[in-house]
Structures are given as C-alpha cells and as structure tokens.
Structure 1
Amino acid sequence: MDKIKDWILKHKLFLITLTILVLIKVVWVAWGCWSIGKHEKEKNDILQRKNWLVDKIVVEPRQLLKEMPGGLGLQFQGEWALYSCSMFSKAFSNISILYPETKQESINTIDSLIQIVKSPELRLYDKMRWGEDPLDSIAGDKSHISYLSHLAWMIGNYRKIGGGDNYNALHDSLCKAMNRRILESECMNLPTYPGEDIYIPDMLVAIVALTDYAQLNNGKYQNTVNRWIQRAKSEWIDSETGLLRSFLPLDGNTSVLSPIKGSYSTLNTYYLTQIDSEFAKEQYSHLKEAFLKDSWLTGFKEYPDGSGFLGMDMDAGPIIFGLSPSGTAFGIGCATYFNDTDLRKHLLKTAEIAGHTVSWNGKRRYLLANIALVGETITLAMRTNCIK
C-alpha cells in the first residue's frame, strides 16, 4: 500500500493531467453527440459537414487525388477518390430529400462530382488495371464493373432528384454495358480487377445502379436485378452467419469457402436497402447477430470471432478492440434506414469518440477527416440514409 501511495505522489501531475484530458474528452463527446436524434440540431450538423466536404472534394481531379493518402498507391488513391465522389453524391441525394430547400444545390454539386469522376485522372486507376479506358471500351467485354457502376449510380441519383437530361445518353450506355456483361457471365458476377476474386459489395453497386435505372426507365433491366437477387438468396448465403458472402471465386464456385468480413457485410446490407428492403431487413438481423459488439464502445466487428484486437485492414481501416471502422460507418446507414434509433445513437457516439468533431466558420468535420476523407463522406451518406 505504501508503494502505491509513493507511486501516486511521484506521478501526481501525470495523473491530474490524464484525468483532465479524460474529462475534456467526455465533455467533448457529449457535446458532439448532443444533436443526434434532434431534428433541427442534427440538420445543422449535417449541413455543416456537407459544407466542409464541398471545399475538399469539389475541386480539380488532381487536387482531389492528392487529398487521398499517398502511401496507398495510385490504385487505392483512385478508388478512394471514386468512393468519396459517389458517396458524397449519395449524401447530397439524401439531403435533398430530407431538406427539400437544398435540392438545387444538390443537383449542381452532383453534376460537378460526375464531371470529376468522368475525368481522365479519375479513370486512370481502372485503366491501369484493365489495360484500357473504362469509357472508351464501353462496347468491349472486360468488366470495369466498379468504375462503371459508381458513375452510373451517381448519374442515377442526379436524375432522380431532378437533374437535367445531359447525362441520359451516358447513363444508357453505362447500364446497357453492365447489364450485358452481367448476363454474359455464367454466375452473373464480374471481377473488379483481372485475376482477382469477385467482391460482392462492388457487384452490388452495379445492382443498385440498375435498380435506379429501372425506376427511371419503365422497369428496363429490372429483370436482371430480380434474377441477381434470387441467386443471391439461394446460392450466395454463408451457411454459418446467414449473411451474403463477401467474396466469390472468379468461376462463381460456391463450394469454395471464403471469410465473411464485417466491413463487407455491413456494406452489402446498406446497398440492399437501396434494392430490396425485405432482404435487407433479414440481412440486418443476421448482421447484428454475427458482428455487433454492444459495449462501452459500440460498433461492428471485422471478424465474427472478434479477433484483431489491434490491427490494420485495407478495407476496414485500423481495427481497434476488434471493431471495424468501415463496418461501423456502414452500420450507421443500416440503423438509420431501419429506424434503429438507439443503435444509431450508440454508433454515432463511437464515431465521435474515434473521430472527434471540430467546427469552424459554419463548417464541421471529424478531426480524422484530413487523413481519411472518404470516411467523412461515407458517414454523411450513411447518417442520411432515409427511406425513400
């Protein structure tokens, strides 16, 4: 006991400082979470985060690519820039529904984001992997599914909220190419890159884009969407978790086992909210059962067994206490859609603890946004994922 007292006396200043920092963080988190669930307060928070993101994303393509972490390499810088633009487009589409007075701003900004994604600079990462430009080879047979689907999804959102017809021809060609390539594949799935497994979340962007296109064009390609969903339900469900698989081999052989990841499963479920609400609801139930960690730090795990106490994953981000940053962010979108109010509050609290909100001059962001800009755009799209 005397040794403990001596240690406390020697480290009194350190302990006082640590206590003050903890108290400051507690107060900061409480302040950052104060607006959650309060309509007008949350509206201000959402719009201020949108304002900050506009300054960072709606820029010249080269500048946007420089905002992506340099250590990722050209491919992942391109991917993250693409995701930043597509998720920001979705956030604007959501915001225009939640707050109709923002509709014209949303249309104008999504227009600018489409122009960025169409640029040669943003197309380069996909061109490097496939050996051909994704837009110049639209009549060809190579997949390019990730790039094409994100661009088509953005145009779909632009048109759905009242954008003009200036992208209609491009939208037609993108969806025609994706639909043709999906139907020409025996397993109805296409690889993101040559020689790699099929990533189901990347395929789901194409299915979302075709769903939106069908709504705008008298059901055209809806049959392809329906066929894909039926095969997903009957062939691509993991027997242990009941969740849609994260990966498939190139030949679509479902007997080949592959890991189920929290980041992929939450993203799959989010995309399904845009396609099939009932299927999404079933998946959300399985998702919470397999991956939800509800404790002082609530979130979705990256691995069902909770392994990876501390680690790094290219898809999930830095895994801390077994939690998946990406999985937790995408989980916010699922909880928002299904009005799972308590879980949404807890997930946003975790985001605040990890991200630490700062605000200045009518703009707001998480402190970590400068490191992972894509994370800020994803979180904004997820917390505004209202039922259409």
Structure 2
Amino acid sequence: MIITLTIIILLVLMKACWVSCATSGQGSFDGERKEIVRRANHLTSKVATTPQKLLDEMPSGIGTQFQGEWALYSCSMTTAALANIAILYPQNKETAIKFIGQIIDIALSENIREYDKLRWGEDPMDGIYGDLSHISYYSHLAWMISRYKQIGGDSKYDGQYHTLCRSMNRRIRQSPIMNLPTYPGEYIYVPDMLVAIVALSNYSQQYQGEYATTVKMWIDKAKKEWIDQETGLLASFLVEDKGHAEIVLPVKGSYSSLNCYYLSLIDSELAKEQYVCLKKHFRQNFPFNGIREYHDKSCWFGMDIDAGPIIFNLSPSGTAFAIGCATSFGDMEFRNQLLKTAEIAGSTIRWFDKSHYLLANLALVGEAITLAMRTSSEQTSFKMNYK
C-alpha cells in the first residue's frame, strides 16, 4: 500500500509540474504567441494536406457521416484559428492566407462533401440552386471564405462565396421558421444554423450590408421565441410544428457554449447575456473547471458524439468552446482556468517547432477548436449593429 500510494503521489506531482510548465505564459496574446504559432504549425501540417489524408485523421469508429463532419469542422476551426493569428500577429498573414486557401480547396473537394451527399441524396454543390437544406456544409464553407477575405485573401473564391450566401439566404427566408435542418428527418441544430448567420453577417460587412436584414430578423426571433425559460439560454434544438419553431429540451452545455461563441461574432450584447447564463447554469469548479453537459443532473461518465466523453460532468467540447467565449469577453481568469483543464486532459507535446495536445492524436478536431477559441477576441472578429 505504501509503494502504491507513493507511485500515485509521484504521478500526481509529475502531472502537476507538467501542467504548470505547459500553462506558463498564459494570460496575454503576447505571452502566448510562441505557443500559439507552434500549435498552428502542427494543425496546418495535419489539416492542409489532401482530402483523403484529412479524413484518415478522423477516428474510423465514428462512421462515414461523422468522419466527414469532423473533417469539415477541422477545416472550419483551423481556418478560424489561422485568420485570428493573422490579425493578432500580422507578420503571419501571408502564411495564413496560403494555408487557408489550401484548406478551402480541401473543404470544396468531393471527398469532404460526401458525408452531406449521403444524407441528402445529392451533392451539395450540385444542389446549390435547389431547395434541399445542406445548411451545415454551405455555412462552414461560406464562413471559411469570409475569413479568407477578411485577412486579405484574393478573389479566387468569390464566385462560390456569392452563390453560397445567396443560396443560404434564400432558403432561410423561404422557411416559415427561418431555420433549416442539418439532415432530413432530424431536429434543427441551432449551432449549425448560427454558422450560417455568422457567414451572412460577415458577408454583409464585406458587401454593403447585403443580407443584414436576414441576420437581424433571425436574431430578433431568437431573442423572442427560442430562449429556454429555465436557463435563459438559446435553445440547442428546435422542431417545426405547424409553421412555428418549438424548443426541444434539453439545453446542453456543448451546444450552449457554441451558440454563445457564434453569437459573440455578430451580437456582443446578446452574447454577453448568454455568457452570464452559461456560467450560472453550466459552470463547474470542482474537481476541474469547465462546462457541464447537463445543468440539471450529474453525469460522472458518459459519451456524446458532439460533446465527447463526459467525465466528472464536464463536456469536453462545451469546455473548449467556452474558451472562445471567455477570450472574446476578456474574462481571462476563467479562460486560464479552462486552458488549465484542457492541459490536464490533453497533455501538450512539443517537438521542434510544433506543439499539440496528445489527445489530438485521437481527435484532431479538438485541437483545431481549442486553438480557434484560444485566439478569438474582439479584434479578430467584425460585426455590424443588428439592433
């Protein structure tokens, strides 16, 4: 027993030292610059590759649909991270533009589009002028192009950008509830819709306010109709019922954190209100700081395809997306606590000019999300006034 206890104590002390060293310098973008760039180097080596190699990085056990989703999300979040870095550290702009262009090309490939084609029965780019939703694929691709242009990218993807945003706007305005399903026969996933609203908002900023009316209408309806009365948070799921959008419970920590992050890119006032509610109902301080997946019950261990493995109530993706919320609103104390939790769970590996979480060997998308969230701030986004 003494030997076993000694080993446990030594392991805990080693982990504590590891976490302390890995999180030193956190608290400012200047202090974190070297580590942020090293993580970007690793991400681009894994994401800016070939479409098939990127898909091969996704866990085979999650199936074709989720492999495609995770690959697209890896592209989207890596693009967000690189664009943020280009703004925070302008000397990296040209490199960021180059890699984002490569990543957009990957997202445009038939390999990546396949997951959406399997569910809708048509290639999303073949159906761009049709009536089927495809909102998840369209929105992420449009958002990526908007960030490419934001940091000085050329007109190479303008044709796709115009067509994607025109198509999303038309579909949203034709919907009686201004929301579209990610897949046929399933709930409306509000975070997926918010990507489309962010993309249209960015387009409005870049093209004389076009589609700003749609963005304002959606936000107004969200405030009035889609807020959960118990938590004050935007719904995670909606369903259309006789021309009305009905909230489907539960409100989840992972979805609420992501909703809050996307809202921070388009409506700071609403996002701050959501952030207060998120911390009130989903924040957990013991044994680790983070965001719970469920506010009204405990889940010491579980598995969710979107949240990840739930351990000690904590939602891995909810905690990661909350880093973006905390960073955007300058809540550096909570941000540092969340990054510490990420380090405890992920364990940073450094090799030459690259850094990454050991856990990213299993879920590359988590590495991309965390870096995008870590680099999000008021100066890396652009907003219009939708009041």
Give the TM-score of the pair, scaled to structure 2.
0.96
What SS does the aligned partner of 1:243 have?
Answer: coil
Aligned pairs for 1:339-358 (under 5 A) are 339-358=330-349
Is 1:315 the equivalent of 2:329? no
Alpha-carbon distance, 1:17 to partner: 1.5
Aligned match for 2:269, one of 263, 267, 278:
278
The one-letter amino acid of 1:49's match is: R
- The whole-number CA distance in structure 2 between the counterparts of 1:236 and 1:255 is 8
- The whole-number CA distance in structure 1 between the counterparts of 2:154 and 2:62 is 36
Corresponding position of 1:178: 168
Superposed CA deviations along residues 12-60 of structure 1, whole A, max 9, x for unmatched, are 2222221111110010011111121144431011000111111111111
- The whole-number CA distance in structure 1 between the counterparts of 2:352 and 2:149 is 32
Asked if structure 2 preserves the Cα contact closer than 8 Å seen for 1:191 and 1:250, the reply is: no
Superposed CA deviations along residues 328-371 of structure 1, whole A, max 9, x for unmatched, are 00000000000001100100110011111110111101110010
What SS does the aligned partner of 1:150 have?
Answer: helix
Alpha-carbon distance, 1:256 to partner: 5.2
- The whole-number CA distance in structure 1 between the counterparts of 2:199 and 2:38 is 28
What SS does the aligned partner of 2:356 have?
Answer: strand
Superposed CA deviations along residues 88-120 of structure 1, whole A, max 9, x for unmatched, are 000011001100000101111110000000000
Aligned match for 1:232, one of 222, 228, 237:
222
Gaps of 5+ in 1: 1-10
Gaps of 5+ in 2: 380-387
What SS does the aligned partner of 2:240 have?
Answer: coil
Is 1:220 the equivalent of 2:193? no
Asked if structure 1 preserves the Cα contact closer than 8 Å seen for 2:75 and 2:103, the reply is: yes
Is 1:293 the equivalent of 2:284? yes
Aligned match for 2:46, one of 28, 50, 56:
56
RMSD: 1.0
Superposed CA deviations along residues 136-181 of structure 1, whole A, max 9, x for unmatched, are 1111000000000000000000011100011111100000000000
Aligned match for 2:146, one of 145, 156, 165:
156
Asked if structure 2 preserves the Cα contact closer than 8 Å seen for 1:237 and 1:243, the reply is: yes
Paired residues, number = 378
What SS does the aligned partner of 1:250 have?
Answer: strand
- The whole-number CA distance in structure 2 between the counterparts of 1:210 and 1:40 is 32
Asked if structure 2 preserves the Cα contact closer than 8 Å seen for 1:152 and 1:175, the reply is: yes
- The whole-number CA distance in structure 1 between the counterparts of 2:62 and 2:83 is 29
Asked if structure 2 preserves the Cα contact closer than 8 Å seen for 1:35 and 1:45, the reply is: no
Aligned match for 1:202, one of 168, 188, 192:
192
What SS does the aligned partner of 1:238 have?
Answer: coil
Is 1:119 the equivalent of 2:122? no
Asked if structure 2 preserves the Cα contact closer than 8 Å seen for 1:302 and 1:327, the reply is: yes
Percent of counterpart pairs with the same letter?
A: 57
Asked if structure 1 preserves the Cα contact closer than 8 Å seen for 2:237 and 2:248, the reply is: no
**Higher Cα Rg: structure 1 or 2?**
1
Distance change >3 Å, CA 255–CA 155, structure 1 → 2: closer
What SS does the aligned partner of 1:55 have?
Answer: helix
Asked if structure 2 preserves the Cα contact closer than 8 Å seen for 1:214 and 1:221, the reply is: yes
